[in-house]
Structure 1
Amino acid sequence: MSRLVISIGAALLLASPAQASDKGWGTASDIGRDALVLTALGLPTVQGDWQGTKQAAFSLGASYAVTFSLKHIVHEERPDESDDKSFPSGHTSSSFAAAATLQKRYGWEIGLPAHAVAAFVGVARVKADKHFVHDVIVGAAIGEAAGFLLTSPKDEGVQWLPWGDAHGGGVTMAMRF
């Protein structure tokens, strides 16, 4: 697993604007999003984890519904002026929904690389001139919230609970023995 993380990190470091056109970044973001969505739906299916498949579908569906609704309410023009559906980034919201689902269901070993790919998708959408940075940040928040709120861990022995108030925030971990 650590080799996968190192490989993804190396790929991100080697990617530069001089090596990719707007179309290349767009294609890369399509591939990253599709790979994450297929993994979020396919991994639990292959393992016979039907609850995981259902939760991934709900997370992705909720992320899509919120993103689609906002695109039709806000009407922000894309940086490349191709249409007025820039806000929020759908590629990023679905990528982060898939990554958050994988993380919460199966743990950080798959969640960390999935989040690295999701972050790459967000960067690629900006580099492809399809989104502004704020479109990607809001898309990531929508996806992360959908994945986290609609997915339960496969191993119920460990629970993570994020918390926050006016003075700060953190994560609480509970383990069942």
Structure 2
Amino acid sequence: MKLTYNAALILAATAATLPSAAKAKDEKAWATASDVGAHGLTLIALGLPIIKGDKQGAFQAAGSIGASVLIATGLKETFPELRPDGSNRKSFPSGHTSRAFAAAATIYNREGPAVGIPAMAVASFVGVARVQADKHFWYDVLVGAGIGMTSGFLITRQRNEKQAMIVPWGDTKSAGVSVAMRF
């Protein structure tokens, strides 16, 4: 598998989160690692399309991440569950995990599996780190992941690289060529 520039970015984001987790002796280090992972994926999901001049991709990324944040926030207000550390009643569902998976699903759809699979690995790490940080129960993270994946895959469309398509056609009486162009 050829390592692209985008895949290298995702792997770098993953590498940036791993040392924090490996040295994590307490919940604060895990919380910091999950922050880095979630924010990093969000920046990559929004930044890659902007760098490439892909306005549609940037809007779709913003829409999928925004939808996951709105849904997670609404559920937190509807079901005020106490966090495992007792800090507040905003445990269900995990907002970090929903945002990370929405970004990862967007990256997967727009950039393909070479970049999307490492992004999913980082999103999974964010979920594990939220549980290890004692901020969420395992089911908070699973629901957050489901929200993020659903919004990411429903709102984001695969990028169509073809700008023009030429299709020959024919029947028993005639033949021709159809041209379809994307503006």
TM-score calculated relative to the size of structure 1: 0.80
- Kindly state the Cα deviation for residue 98 of structure 1 after the two structures are TM-superposed: 0.1
Q: Matched residues in 1 for 2:20 and 2:70: separation?
A: 34
Match status 1:115 vs 2:83: no
What are the superposed Cα offsets for residues 125-159 of structure 1, whole Å, 9 maximum, x if unpaired?
000000000000000000000000001111367xx
- Kindly state the Cα deviation for residue 13 of structure 1 after the two structures are TM-superposed: 10
Aligned residues: 155
Could you tell me which runs of 5 or more consecutive residues in structure 1 were left unpaired when the two chains were aligned. Answer: 158-177
User: Among residues 145, 161, 164, which one is paired with 2:150 in the alignment?
Assistant: 145
Could you tell me which runs of 5 or more consecutive residues in structure 2 were left unpaired when the two chains were aligned. Answer: 163-183
- Kindly state the Cα deviation for residue 20 of structure 1 after the two structures are TM-superposed: 2.8
Question: Secondary structure at 1:76's aligned position in 2?
Answer: coil
Instruction: Kindly provide the amino acid, as one letter, of the partner of residue 135 in structure 1.
Output: D
User: Among residues 123, 132, 139, which one is paired with 2:137 in the alignment?
Assistant: 132
Match status 1:77 vs 2:82: yes
TM-score calculated relative to the size of structure 2: 0.78
- Kindly state the Cα deviation for residue 112 of structure 1 after the two structures are TM-superposed: 0.5
Return the index of the structure with the highest Cα Rg. 2
Preserved CA contact (<8 Å) 2:131 2:137: yes
Alpha carbons of structure 1 residues 34 and 13: separation in structure 2 relative to 1, 3 Å: closer
The root-mean-square deviation of aligned C-alpha atoms, in Å, is: 2.3
Matching residue of 1:63: 68
Q: Matched residues in 2 for 1:13 and 1:138: separation?
A: 27
Alpha carbons of structure 1 residues 83 and 149: separation in structure 2 relative to 1, 3 Å: same
What are the superposed Cα offsets for residues 50-79 of structure 1, whole Å, 9 maximum, x if unpaired?
000000000011001100000000000000
Match status 1:26 vs 2:34: no
